[in-house]
Amino acid sequence: MSAPAPTRRIAARHLTLFSMYVPAIAAALEPRSSVAIVGIESHICVTQTALDLLAAGHAVYVLADAVSSCNPEEVPVALRRLAAAGVAVTTTESWIYEVMGDASIPAFKDVIKIVKDSGEDTKIALKALTPRI
């Protein structure tokens, strides 16, 4: 599930900013959208983007097993801060099932294959995070 190409191009123009909730992204989102965030530097870019989206009225999900930092100790601190602010901190798999909502959707089998294929990586990421969250 990748972002539409125009959204990726918009975001690439603003690489000096710490928050990626820039005017072009704001204009591309429907009001009160649900937005899932993944990325590096959880305590900087992920946090600032999530807080800006939340302040703008969006439902924000940060996928804990899909964020990182060059200093791993920063990740659980950022995730706790985001959760306290009202961001839904969850896992990629949990979010995927929430978005699908029902096993009868046409893409279910394809999505589940991706989830299963990445299961070991998810387990490693969560094992590293869980004791510190």
Per residue in 103-130, pLDDT tens? Answer: 888 888 888 888 888 777 777 766 666 6
Write the CATH number for 25: 3.40.50.850
Is the overall model pTM greater than 0.85, yes or no?
no
Spatial CB neighbours of 57, under 8 Å, sequence gap ≥ 6:
31, 32
pLDDT at 109: 86
Integer Cα distance of 12 and 33 in angstroms:
21
Give the DSSP letter of residue 4. Answer: P
Using alpha carbons, list the distances in angstroms from residue 96 to 16, 45, 55, 75. 30, 22, 24, 21
Say yes or no to pLDDT of 84 above 50: yes
Say yes or no to pLDDT of 41 above 60: yes
Name the more confident of 77 and 1: 77
Number of structural domains, the chain?
1
Say yes or no to pLDDT of 37 above 70: yes
Integer Cα distance of 117 and 87 in angstroms:
27
pLDDT at 118: 77
Domain encompassing residue 62 = 5-132
Say yes or no to pLDDT of 98 above 70: yes
Say yes or no to pLDDT of 73 above 50: yes
